[in-house]
């Protein structure tokens, strides 16, 4: 397996963490490596549904994002990636606190990969679990200044 360029990782993290949707959701890409990504989200009033607990869509966003970035480093530099399905289970309600999603690729593929994500509250309790299939899109790569791999 090739070695990922640390400058590329920092550029990707900066790009993601300053993009409109992650900023809107108060979430950030905390870590990324082959077959793994960690997303952190600081919940606030905007994430709560009328019963005062985190809305299910927030969990779906975390799982979608964590599985996506877990699969990202395996794709060719000139390719993009999309989630083509998302399945999740809500395991425990969460109120206003920090959440962490850890995505892992379970089966990498040349066209479609399969990943899971686990979402934890700030006490470390598992609060949601989900899976996603990810499809590689040739010719849809991110434009970056740093090279993805170092020789």
Interval 23-34: pLDDT, tens: 999 999 999 999
Does 1 score more than 70 pLDDT? no
DSSP letter at 20? H
pLDDT (mean) for 44-49:
94
From residue 32, how far is each of 45, 46, 48, 109, 127 by CA, in Å? 28, 27, 28, 18, 21
Domain residue ranges in the chain = 3-150
The CATH fold of domain 3-150? Thiol Ester Dehydrase; Chain A (3.10.129)
Mean residue pLDDT of the chain comes to 94
Distance CA 80, CA 57 (A): 24
Kindly indicate the confidence band of residue 88, based on its pLDDT and cuts at 50, 70 and 90. very high
pLDDT digits (tens, 9 = 90+) for 100-145: 999 999 999 999 999 999 999 999 999 999 999 999 999 888 788 7
pLDDT for 142 equals 77
And the tokens for 136?
Answer: 């590689």
pLDDT given for residue 148 in this prediction: 78
pTM score of the predicted model? 0.94
pLDDT at 80 > cutoff 70: yes
């Amino acid at each position: 397996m090739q070695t990922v360029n640390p400058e590329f990782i920092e550029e990707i993290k900066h790009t993601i963490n300053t993009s409109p949707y992650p900023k809107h959701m108060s979430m950030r890409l905390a870590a990324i490596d082959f077959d793994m990504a960690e997303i952190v989200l600081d919940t606030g009033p905007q994430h709560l549904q009328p019963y005062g607990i985190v809305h299910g869509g927030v969990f779906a966003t975390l799982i979608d994002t964590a599985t996506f970035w877990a699969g990202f480093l395996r794709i060719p530099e000139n390719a993009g990636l999309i989630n083509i399905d998302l399945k999740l289970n809500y395991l425990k309600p969460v109120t206003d606190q920090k959440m962490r999603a850890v995505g892992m690729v379970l089966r990498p593929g040349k066209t479609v990969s399969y990943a899971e994500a686990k979402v934890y509250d700030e006490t470390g309790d598992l609060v949601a679990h989900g899976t996603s299939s990810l499809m590689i899109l040739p010719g849809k790569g991110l434009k970056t200044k740093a090279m993805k791999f170092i020789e």
